[in-house]
Amino acid sequence: MIRIKNLCKNFGENRVLNSITTEIKKGEVVVVIGPSGSGKSTLLRCLNLLEMPTAGEIVFEEQNITDKKIDINQIRTKLGMVFQQFNLFPHKTVIENIMISPIMVKKVSKEEAYLKAVSLLNRVGLAEKENAYPSSLSGGQQQRIAIARALAMEPDVMLFDEPTSALDPEMVGEVLNVMKQLAKEGMTMVIVTHEMGFAREVGDRILFMDQGQILEKGPPEQLFNHPKNARTRDFLSKVL
Amino acid sequence: MDFSFAGKYMPMFFSGIKLTLLISVISIVLATIVGILVYFFKTSRFSIGKVYPLRIVAFTFIEIMRGTPVLLQILVAYVLVSMNPSSSKLPSNMVAIIASISAISLNSSVYIAEIVRAGIQSVPRGQMEASRSLGMTYFMAMKVIIMPQAIKNILPAIGNEFVAVIKGSSMAYVLGIAELTFSAKVVQGATYKGLEPLLISAIFYLILTFSLGRLIGWVERRMKASDSH
């Protein structure tokens, strides 16, 4: 579904991604782990071009999205993104947050968008918050709304950028449960996280990144229990 | 001090207030429109090679407007407007009014551009990123997500700029426009009183700026209230 080839990203002199090559298959849950500053988030943000790659190729559904001629807004509707800081629209109610882009971008009718939004709210267990404003919700609730908002565009892939890092520990579970459910339903997901237990449980494949490179990849069983790379072993010994 | 003349000349001051308000209101509206334009020029991504022509235009305009006196700008505007052939058909005080409105609004626009910039930058970056990640175009996101949030910071600051414009409009006096300051000069001449007419004008300016200040405060409080739903 997504093929990444020799992807590089520089911020000025600083090389953040150093020739990343990997593939994400349909229905696969790929979890990216690694120390802070290893380029995990940048890799994720390159996938929907929130960061413009310096070099290399990203082929999404047989289209090279780094091509200048591509309609990036069209591509982005197929890649849902969930942010560490939720980024809900504070001046809109919960239901408006979910409805706004289907209506504006996909030109879906208001009624249809509303029905869809209500069913998504049910799915993330927040049906009663329809008319609340984001500021009145807990972090965990806000993040679940953010997931619903991304799902409203009916994306083919969901990108999660440390979705639980800004949450109180007791709220992490409710967000991870929604994500687990999503994985079970066969959604293709790329998740950057520090939740190792969750990575092991939900991930089909784990990528370990450090200093802008993928140092090791494999199924969770292998990567967590029998890491080959010395740097992976070192990292895991500190976080597990 | 003797204010016995005040009643007789009050209509003079009132017509002065009217003109002051007319110039100020039109100027602040135009300044807001031009100011937003200046902001977009200043932040434009349009480039030819490594040169950003619109940014250069904005930068030059801002430096000139901030680096020269408003009074001089009004005088220059008067000459420029008079040079326009169609201005000869207008009554001469109309030419003066157009000239002073042009100068005052252009001058104020560079400050408003800065107000708009600060207002937009006060909206967290994540708001734009979230909008774009949902497939919105830059302008869509600006219109429905960023601007409605930025306006809460922008509106009160434009109100303060309005106060500055009201005071600045007194400089239209040099073109012989009968606004509030000019009224005071006329009444001075008619009554041979030095201080009193000026004081009356000052009080009217204070009434205008003070009530406007209260209004801004009220708007600001309402916007804060709508923040915490």
Q: Do B135 and A76 touch (CB under 8 A)?
A: yes
Write down the pLDDT at residue B227: 61
Whether pLDDT at B85 is above 90: no
Band (A157; pLDDT cuts 50, 70, 90): very high
Q: Do A87 and B130 touch (CB under 8 A)?
A: yes
Inter-residue contact A110 to A99 (CB < 8 Å): yes
Write down the pLDDT at residue A49: 93
B50 CB neighbour count, 10 Å cutoff: 5
Write down the pLDDT at residue B97: 93
B127 touches chain A (CB under 8 A): yes
Q: Do A105 and B140 touch (CB under 8 A)?
A: yes
Rounded (10°) angle between helices A139-151 and A94-104? 20
How high does pLDDT run on average in chain B?
A: 91
Inter-residue contact A162 to A193 (CB < 8 Å): yes
Q: Cα(A15)–Cα(A3) distance, rounded to whole angstroms?
A: 21
Whether pLDDT at B226 is above 80: no
The residue to which tokens 């426009």 are assigned: B177
A150 CB neighbour count, 10 Å cutoff: 24
Residues 194-233 of chain A whose Cβ lies under 8 A from any Cβ of chain B: none
Inter-residue contact A1 to A188 (CB < 8 Å): yes
Write down the pLDDT at residue B223: 78
Across the range A96-123, mean pLDDT stands at: 96
> Among residues of chain B, what percentage have pLDDT more than 90?
70
> Among residues of chain B, what percentage have pLDDT more than 70?
98
Whether pLDDT at B229 is above 60: no
- The residue with greater pLDDT, B92 or A53, is A53
Looking from the CA of B91 toward its CB, the CA atoms found within 13 Å total 5
B194 touches chain A (CB under 8 A): no
Instruction: For residue A91, list chain B residues with Cβ-Cβ distance below 8 A.
Output: 148-149
Cα distances (Å, whole numbers) of residue A35 to A214, A231, B58: 12, 10, 43
* pLDDT 10s digits, B158-192: 989 999 999 999 999 999 898 999 999 999 998 99
Q: Which of A105, A107, A135, A143 to mutate to test the interface with B (most CBs of B within 10 A)?
A: A105
- By DSSP bridging, strand A205-210 and strand A29-33 are parallel
Band (B45; pLDDT cuts 50, 70, 90): confident
Instruction: For residue B151, list chain A residues with Cβ-Cβ distance below 8 A.
Output: none
The sign of the torsion formed by the CA atoms of A202, A206, A210, A212 equals: negative
Q: Cα(B56)–Cα(B73) distance, rounded to whole angstroms?
A: 21
- Chain B nearest C-alpha distance from A223 (Å): 31
A91 touches chain B (CB under 8 A): yes
- Residue B54, Cβ density class (10 Å: 0-12 exposed, 13-18 middle, ≥19 buried): middle
Band (B147; pLDDT cuts 50, 70, 90): very high
Angle at B174 between CA B66 and CA B15, to 5 degrees: 110
CB-based contacts of B19, cutoff 8 Å, min separation 6 = B97, B177, B178, B179, B180
- Chain A nearest C-alpha distance from B224 (Å): 12
Across the range A197-207, mean pLDDT stands at: 93
Give the residue from chain B lying closest to A72, CA to CA.
B135
Give the residue from chain B lying closest to A104, CA to CA.
B136
Write down the pLDDT at residue B90: 85
Write down the pLDDT at residue B228: 55
Write down the pLDDT at residue A22: 95
* pLDDT 10s digits, B2-19: 888 888 889 989 999 999
Write down the pLDDT at residue B164: 94
Rounded to two decimals, the pTM is 0.82
Across the range A170-184, mean pLDDT stands at: 94
Q: Cα(B36)–Cα(B114) distance, rounded to whole angstroms?
A: 9
Across the range B50-62, mean pLDDT stands at: 94
Instruction: For residue B145, list chain A residues with Cβ-Cβ distance below 8 A.
Output: 89
